[in-house]
Amino acid sequence: MWPVYFINLDHASERRNRSTALFRDAGLEFRRIAACDWRSLSATDLSSSVARATPRFAKGRITPPEVACFLSHMRAWETIAAGTAPAAFVFEDDFALQPDAARLMADLSGQPPTWDMLKLFTNKPRTMGDAVLLDAVHCLGTPDILPPTTLAYAITRPAAAALARRSMPFSRPIDLYLKHWWEHGAAIKLVQPSIVVPRDEHLASSAIERARRNATDANPVARFLRNAAYQLSFRVSSSLYASSRATEARWVDDSPRIVDVCPPAVTQEPRP
């Protein structure tokens, strides 16, 4: 079995205890990654992590809790990159495991990854043109639109090293950054039906969601227009770069050298 990590704030003891119990009940060994607390971020931390320019059609400027979330996942990536396992699983601390999660995680650990990142949860069913069966129920493939979530995923060691190195500075929340696959070039696939789901308190207790709502325009017309521009830009970019989308692992482990087997990612957005 690949290593299992979960990201958890030092003061979030209730979430830590719930997550620990879920892993132990499933028979999974795990390691905790201390999350970055947005309240401890200095002005220097923010200026060195966040790109000066917000993407042209972003829904809004990235908030401090979103910065801390991104940095927390980067801590996990750096830990994985420094290890020896070919891949690892990463969980946020508000997950719940489906009954077959541990078995499927073990099955995935026994197969050579054909992806850089594999998401284990989607908020709704996704169309996957290259889907292959994992068992009688679950399939794996490249979704037409990536689910905007980092609740649980697997990531290869070379992909963790590459993304940790190339993601700074960032201008989007991590879930939206990964969704814009042409900006980083990683081959991100999905398992569905989901083998991990959010716990009931996920949105109610999320500082990130509260900050995101507070940062959104109070004017409903302005909010609608901003969201419409974002959606249009996303769809135009998705179509424009569709032929260059990676559907096989972009970064392969040829220790001690990590090899990039795909063309460079796109770094600028087209105008819709």
Q: Give the pLDDT of residue 178.
A: 95
Residue 44: enclosing H or E segment and its boundaries? helix 43-49
- Whether the ω angle into residue 65 lies within 30 degrees of 0, i.e. cis, is no
Q: Which residues of 97-118 are buried (b: 16+ CB within 10 A; e: fewer)?
A: bbeebbebbeebbeeebbbbbb
Q: Which amino acid is at 19?
A: S
- As a whole number of angstroms, the distance between CA 178 and CA 211 comes to 20
- Domain 4-260 is found in CATH 3.30.930: no
Supply 196's token pair. Answer: 């991990």
Q: Give the pLDDT of residue 138.
A: 96
- As a whole number of angstroms, the distance between CA 74 and CA 120 comes to 18
Could you write out the DSSP letters of every residue in 48-92?
A: HHB-SSPPTT-SSPPPHHHHHHHHHHHHHHHHHHTSSSSEEEEEE
Q: Is the pLDDT of residue 257 over 60?
A: no
**Each residue of 139-192: pLDDT tens digit?**
999 999 999 999 999 999 999 999 999 888 888 899 999 999 998 999 999 999
- What is the mean predicted confidence (pLDDT) over 95-102? 96
List, in sequence order, every residue forming a beta bridge with 122; answer none if it has no partner: none
Q: Where are the domains of the chain?
A: 4-260
Q: Which amino acid is at 70?
A: F
- What is the mean predicted confidence (pLDDT) over 29-44? 92
- pTM beyond 0.75: yes
